[in-house]
Structure 1
Amino acid sequence: MANNEDHAEKEVENNNHSQKKPRILCLHGFRTSGAILKKLIMRWPESVLQKLDLDFLDALYLAQGKSDVEGIFDPPFFEWFQSDENFTEYYNFEECLQYLEDYMIKNGPFDGLLGFSQGAILAAALPGMQREGVALTKVPKLKFVILISGSKFGEKKFGMPKLAANAFSIPIKFPSLHFIGETDFLKEEGMALLASFVDPMVIYHPKGHTVPRLDVAGEEIMLNFIKKIQELNDVD
């Protein structure tokens, strides 16, 4: 009888382990906020949301200019770091990285990152920066990224912060999911970013620079991606 009980307890324990939700730190777009990104993400199907543990963080700096979402969403608005008008020189980048790491130490551990726009550019670079030992050195290794309207430092529209110089020197060898909008002004950069990841998964959508709702095909891709990252947690 005791053996049966032990077996039953072990089975429950295994089931609980397999159902552990990936914990994801979500990085919002330029001059928006964690609350705004949360509103947009929460439009996704419950079949997706119920499988994820999402944490929405506000960036360190208040917006230093007008936000594109003024009049649509309520302030305050934030930005992760600043740059010159041409996005060639960056300011407060090291402080941004330290802010993220401090938050991850206090509120983690986190399995992966989700980023939109400026948050996606940052999220795309962080795995390589962590590998190079120039960022997130005091937290567990990231296991995956979800990048919505992303790009990478050093592409046509964006310069390269010194700390990110080697972030893409070799392809990132873990799961990545990329959202690419047909009318997004960063579509070309988002497509180029795919080459920086090994076996990236992609959700193409007809919208522009936004967090899209998920149609049936997008939901299926998202669920397949979650299954893939869930298997990483099970191995751990």
Structure 2
Amino acid sequence: MSATSSSSVTVLRILCIHGYRQNAQSFREKTGAFRKITKNQAELVFLSAPNLVPPHKTEDGESETENHKDLDERGWWFSREDDYFKAQDKTNCAKGYEKSLEVVKQTFLEKGPFDGVLGFSQGAALVSLLCSLQQLNPDGAIKFDFAILVASFKSNSQQHQYLYETKVTIPTLHVFGETDGVIPKDMSEELLQHYENYSTLQHPGGHFLPSSSPQKKIYIQFLEQQIENKKKKKNRLSD
């Protein structure tokens, strides 16, 4: 049996954590190309954050849209008490974070197990925190074997700083764009010092999950390695 056909027997279940002002459905739609190129390796499960993000305000303080509720824009935490988030904010605020953590835990308990977690932007920053939480408490509800972090960054909320004191040892793939104007690549690169077993995928684009031919090979290679790791783990447990 060929390597390709043998690996297709095992499919990885990956929990997907959306970015700020997204939700499970909108993130699923934005990952269409990624889902297509990884369909033989991964089953993606999408989760919505519990915190509703207020609409953008105009200069006179009015909402930019009358149908804000229809947009269903969500976030994993706020860096300011007035329900606002900016990655660069150095703050004592992480409003909504504990609620998000409970939603993630419940998802692992009710819809797990998951082999890995994928996050984008603020969602990737949350995934980074989940990696550290698991490292500190390997017997907790949140358990996964690898992570893919796209346009991630180190949280500047004081509440999260202790989570960067322990290096993450699970395999991780860090994806970031050279021209990302939302999360500059140096913010993503700064995060790497907190990981021991990481790979990087740097692309020439901006703030999105790249899924063209140059990136496809790297995703498949990374996921195939996780499939092999899963098989070895299963064999060890059955011995």
**TM-score normalized with structure 2 length:** 0.79
Report what 1:146 is aligned to: 148
The gaps in structure 2 that reach 5 residues or longer are 58-64, 234-239
Give how far 1:98 is off: 1.0
Cα separation, 2, equivalents of 1:109 and 1:87: 34
Match of 1:130 in 2: 134
Question: Which residue pairs with 2:209 in the alignment?
Answer: 211
Higher mean C-alpha deviation, range 116-125 or range 91-100:
91-100
Q: Does 1:39 align with 2:35?
A: no
One-letter amino acid of the counterpart of residue 23, structure 1? R
The Cα shift of 1:21 comes to: 1.0
**Preserved contact between residue 182 and residue 207 of structure 1 (Cα < 8 Å):** yes
- Residues 160 and 18 from structure 1, CA distance in 2 versus in 1: closer, same or farther, beyond 3 angstroms? farther
- Distance in 1 of aligned mates of 2:23 and 2:50: 10
Unmatched segments (≥5 aa) in structure 1? 1-10
- The structure 1 residue matched to 2:71, chosen from 65, 75, 98, is 75
The 1:206–1:18 alpha-carbon spacing in structure 2 relative to 1, beyond 3 Å, is: closer
Asked if the contact 2:117–2:147 (Cα under 8 Å) also holds between the matched residues in 1, the reply is: yes
Structure 2 residue aligned with 1:202: 200
Does the 8 A contact of 1:101 with 1:136 survive in 2? Answer: no
Match of 2:120 in 1: 116
| C-alpha separation in 1, matches of 2:25 and 2:139 | 24
For 2:112 and 2:52, how far apart are their aligned partners in 1?
24
Deviation at 1:136, TM superposition (A): 8.1
After superposition, the Cα gap between the structure-2 partners of 1:47 and 1:95, relative to the gap in structure 1 and judged at 3 Å, is closer
Provide Cα deviations, 1:27-57, integer angstroms capped at 9, x if missing partner: 0000111111111211127342331010011
Given that 2:7 and 2:227 are in contact with CA atoms closer than 8 Å, whether structure 1 keeps it comes out as no
Alpha-carbon distance, 1:123 to partner: 0.2
Cα 1:182–1:176, aligned 2, differ >3 Å: closer, same or farther? same
Aligned to 1:175: 171
Structure 2 SS opposite 1:115: strand
Distance 1:18 1:41 in 2: 21
Cα distance change, pair 143–64 in 1 and its aligned pair in 2 (3 A)? same
Q: Is residue 2:103 matched to residue 1:99?
A: yes
- Write the letter of the residue equivalent to 2:22: T
CA distance in 2, matches of 1:170, 1:114: 20
Matched-pair contact (CA < 8 Å) for 2:41–2:224: no
Over the matched positions of the two proteins, sequence identity in percent amounts to 27
Query: Is the Cα contact below 8 Å between 1:129 and 1:166 reproduced in 2?
Result: no
Instruction: Name 1:165's counterpart in structure 2.
Output: 161
What is the distance in 1 between the residues matched to 2:127 and 2:219?
18
Supply the AA of the counterpart residue of 2:131: P
Amino acid at match of 1:137: G
Tell me the C-alpha RMSD between the 2 structures. Answer: 2.5
The 3-state SS of whatever aligns with 2:38 is: helix
The alpha-carbon distance between structure 1 residues 29 and 136, as it changes in their structure 2 partners (threshold 3 A), is farther
CA 1:210–1:87 in 2, change beyond 3 Å: closer, same or farther? Answer: farther
Moved over 3 A (4+): 15-18
